[in-house]
Amino acid sequence: MKKTPPHSAQEKAHPSTSPGTPAAESPQDGIIPAPGFEIVDSEAWKEASQALQQLAEAREKMIRMQADFDNFRKRLTREKEESVRYANEGLLESLLPVVDNFELGLIAAETAPDARTIAQGMQMVRAQLQRFLAECGVEEINAIGLAFDPNIHEAISEEPSPDKPEGTILAQRRKGYKLRDRLLRPAAVVVAHTPPAA
């Protein structure tokens, strides 16, 4: 009986390359599998590689979106701070001409021949200031002769009045103002009350 020669060391190390056995698939994308593992399905390997690449791209995209969001949040915070700091810029700019005319009136008052001229200058400044307030939506609260309303009036005293109904406003010590439909300051008023019977 003829003895079969023993397998060579190379054949023992790589039994898949022995005669009669098909050779293993070549590694994909230059990646060599770990010892003991072989690439059997090249399509599955390609799909796995593509999934890993897509995962890396998604992670990179998420990092960029996080950076963009942080920049947007910082910019929004900065714009909000500037908006609060300079919110009254236009309002104050419109008020400057009133201040200019008031200062001119003070200069003219130093050389005015009589008090009437000073009063006329002050009336002009007052009218300009009232126009400015009206343009801003500020209006005065009329109180004298009306019934006391705690929502817009502040009673600072009471006076007996035989000819006025109880709660009628007799005098106004300080004007009140509203900004459109919101109260800025209540009018300080004197309210009538019925005197006690003799």
The pLDDT tens digits for 97-136 are 888 988 888 888 888 888 888 888 889 899 999 999 998 8
pLDDT at position 161, please? 87
Pick the closest to residue 178 from 138, 130, 135 (CA basis). 138
Structure confidence at residue 47 as a pLDDT band (50, 70, 90): confident
Structure confidence at residue 149 as a pLDDT band (50, 70, 90): very high
Domain coordinates of the chain in residue numbers?
A: 41-87, 88-136, 139-198
The CATH superfamily of 139-198 is Head domain of nucleotide exchange factor GrpE (2.30.22.10)
More confident residue, 82 or 28: 82
Q: Which helix (H) or strand (E) holds 192?
A: strand 187-193
**CA–CA distances in Å: residue 189 to residues 32, 138, 195:** 95, 20, 18
What is the dihedral sign for C-alpha 134, 155, 171, 125? negative
Tell me the three state secondary structure of residue 76: helix
Cα 159 to its chain centre, rounded Å, is 50
pLDDT of residue 167 exceeding 80: yes
Structure confidence at residue 22 as a pLDDT band (50, 70, 90): very low
Q: Average pLDDT over the chain, rounded to whole?
A: 81
Residues of the chain with pLDDT > 90, as a percent, come to 38
pLDDT at position 25, please? 46
